[in-house]
Amino acid sequence: MREEISKTFDVLNKQNWENNKKAKLALKKQGIKFISPNKKDRAEMQQLADKTTKKLIKQGVFTAKMVNKVDQLLTDYRKKH
């Protein structure tokens, strides 16, 4: 059963990637420009994200354990992709 679920999610992920590509192309055709933030702006955005995450943990919206798990999963994913 796990194998079937895994296959289904693989198919869905591929479909989502294709849909995202098509959506991005449609936006570009409408004149939307995609930019990449420079190093300074990325650092500022990361600082804001970190500050917000800490605030949400303090408010009890997320647990530190959950945030750490998500951070680790993102790190692992980014290493592979």
Reduce the DSSP state of residue 7 to 3 states and report it.
Answer: helix
pLDDT at 81 over 90: no
pLDDT at 3 over 90: no
d(CA 10, CA 30): 31
pLDDT tens per residue, range 11-51: 999 999 999 999 999 999 999 999 999 999 999 999 999 99
Q: Nearest-CA neighbor of 37 among 48, 24, 21, 23? A: 48
pLDDT at 2 over 90: no
Global pTM reads: 0.60
- pLDDT at position 1, please? 82
